[in-house]
Amino acid sequence: MTATKGLEGIVATTSEISSIIDGVLTYRGINIDELAEHATFEETIYLLWHGKLPNRAELKSLMDELAANAALPDELLTQLRTYPPGANSMAALRSAVSALALYDEEANDMSPEANLRKAVKLQAKLPTIVAAFARIREGKEPIQPKSGVSIAHNFLYMLTGKDPDEVAVKALDKALVLHADHELNASTFAARVTVATLSDIYSGVTSAIGALKGPLHGGANEAVMIMLDEIGSIENVESYIMNKLANKEKIMGFGHRVYKNGDPRAKHLQKMSRELGERSGNLKLYEMSVKIEELVTGQKGLKPNVDFYSASVYTTLGIPRDLFTPLFAISRVSGWTAHILEQYSDNRLIRPRAEYTGPANVRYVPIDQR
């Protein structure tokens, strides 16, 4: 038995949900470039869950169901008010999603119909949790979700209390489409491992949120913004980046386990970053990001991943940087739940082996002889 560090290149499951082949990402066979251009996030959710794009009636029915399930139980709102104001936002989301199961009578009903209903509830409630947490910690009242608007619109509305303009809604909606699923990434794998024990969907999503939080995965988008804030101006970019590279430190938002010639999602986010910057009359973050990319790609051959330009996009949309990774979860819960439903549909316990590298033939030493 020989271990492969980080399971690189190991094919751990079959899946019909998304694929990365020769650097091309598809959801249910549809190229991400086409989806980014044409699909809404709600259409994408339906596609991931049901394997086909919805017709008008199916889309309306999904949007109605999401709206009907977006409000939080009062008990959870009460609990959110007890979280320390300085709590880590992903820890808060992880705790709140875990707690949601306590208030769902069908949390442990493992029928396919109940699991799909719970997927709807999770997708509907995550944006409400994140927005409520963000407001409560600022001493503001949470805002009830509204119906008849998209998840992107509702999230910005619940965060700020104002209806966002169409450009902001479209930009966020596209970012949600781009983050929705990504084959067997670490958080999706964590979700599948958890539910393959036949544990419930809330446990699977809670595990996934824990995995997404780390800076080598979803947490990189916040880390990119921390870096941009530290650099502060375009004049400082070169010395900051060259110094990091000389010290063999990682530049957040670059590199990828699977893509070696670039992440196909990054170009869409780069374009959005430029367009939103132009519209706001402030291209500083975009220009700093482009300069960082030139240096990191030039020096190391590393290309930006999905997390790099999303940092400047979200900041320009007015989203606080510690909500970037929760926002990733608001999108990725669509993919996590699709994978969880797929795992249940043809389950086998996921239990790989470890290559033992510790000492052998060690004898027990009584405590007073140690």
Ligand X SMILES: CC(=O)SCCNC(=O)CCNC(=O)[C@H](O)C(C)(C)COP(=O)(O)OP(=O)(O)OC[C@H]1O[C@@H](n2cnc3c(N)ncnc32)[C@H](O)[C@@H]1OP(=O)(O)O
Ligand Y SMILES: O=C([O-])CC(=O)C(=O)O
Using DSSP's 3-state secondary structure scheme, residue 256 falls into: coil
Question: Stretches 79-87, 139-147, 162-170, 255-263: which one binds ligand X (CB under 6 A)?
Answer: 255-263
Do residues 135 and 142 touch, judged by C-beta distance below 8 A? yes
Q: Site for ligand Y (CB under 6 A): how many residues?
A: 6
CA gap 132, 155 in Å, rounded: 10
Asked if 319 interacts with ligand X (CB under 6 A), we say no
Given 182, 256, 268, 339, the catalytic residue: 256
Establish whether 307 is a catalytic residue: yes
Q: How far is the CB of 276 from ligand X (least distance, A)?
A: 20
CA gap 136, 143 in Å, rounded: 10
Establish whether 256 is a catalytic residue: yes
Do residues 311 and 328 touch, judged by C-beta distance below 8 A? no
Question: Stretches 12-20, 21-29, 124-132, 250-258: which one binds ligand X (CB under 6 A)?
Answer: 250-258
Asked if 192 interacts with ligand Y (CB under 6 A), we say no
What are the backbone angles phi and psi of residue 350, rounded to the nearest 5°?
-95, 115
- Long-range pairs of 240-247 with CB within 8 A, sequence gap ≥ 24: 241/292, 241/295, 241/296, 241/299, 242/295, 242/299, 245/295, 245/296, 245/299, 245/300
Q: Which amino acid is at 253?
A: G
Question: Stretches 63-71, 86-94, 120-128, 213-221: which one binds ligand X (CB under 6 A)?
Answer: 213-221
Among ligand X, ligand Y, none, residue 213 binds (CB under 5-8 Å by kind):
none
Q: How far is the CB of 335 from ligand X (least distance, A)?
A: 11
> What are the Cα distances from residue 178, in Å, to 26, 77, 129?
10, 30, 21
Asked if 182 interacts with ligand Y (CB under 6 A), we say yes
Applying CB under 6 A, among 171, 306, 323, 333 the residue interacting with ligand Y is 306
Residue of 101, 103, 81 whose CA lies nearest to 92: 81
CA gap 225, 227 in Å, rounded: 5
Applying CB under 6 A, among 244, 257, 284, 300 the residue interacting with ligand Y is 257
Given 181, 182, 307, 339, the catalytic residue: 307
Residue with tokens 């009460």: 78
Applying CB under 6 A, among 185, 206, 273, 325 the residue interacting with ligand Y is 185
> What are the Cα distances from residue 151, in Å, to 115, 155, 219, 366?
21, 6, 22, 61
Q: How far is the CB of 88 from ligand X (least distance, A)?
A: 18
Name which of 206 and 221 has its Cβ closer to ligand X. 221
Asked if 266 interacts with ligand Y (CB under 6 A), we say no
Binding interface with ligand X (CB under 6 A):
6, 216-218, 220, 250-257, 300, 302, 305-307
Binding interface with ligand Y (CB under 6 A):
182, 185, 257-258, 305-306
Q: Which residues does the annotation mark as catalytic?
A: 256, 307
